[in-house]
Structure 1
């Protein structure tokens, strides 16, 4: 089983989700649920820090697009933090 850890912090009123581990078909739904719930309607957007993610498969990429679309419908922004080696 693959594992991912999701931690939510709030910085200057903006939720920042720090994800570590692997995101794949096994855990993408669980991780996605945590990401979707991290941004209240009152937030200007969401920052997702993927610096600690060691593996991201196509299902993980799909959930990021889905998250961006959901936020866009609420007039919120998605910002991704990725390591320079990505």
Structure 2
């Protein structure tokens, strides 16, 4: 991931952090964790899981890309409108 310049978004576990401190300089450098990036990643993952509740989105049964894109758009609009419909 570092070679491809992909940022770290998942928090490091406490036991790994303690092991790194215990090893001192041989433990490597600490990860650059950003809380706001992690929150945004979590929001995106939850949205994708809500979109997958729609069968056509989850199974990707459409043959053409533009049809699948339209299916995802309709599912997103339905999720967006749902709070106002009661």
TM-score interval for Structure 1 and Structure 2 normalised by the shorter chain: under 0.3
Structure (1 or 2) with the larger CA radius of gyration: 2
Q: TM-score, normalised by structure 2?
A: 0.27
Q: TM-score, structure 1 length as denominator?
A: 0.27
Higher relative contact order (CA 8 A, sep 6+): 1
The structure with the greater share of residues assigned to strand is 1
Q: 1 or 2, which has the higher helix percentage?
A: 2
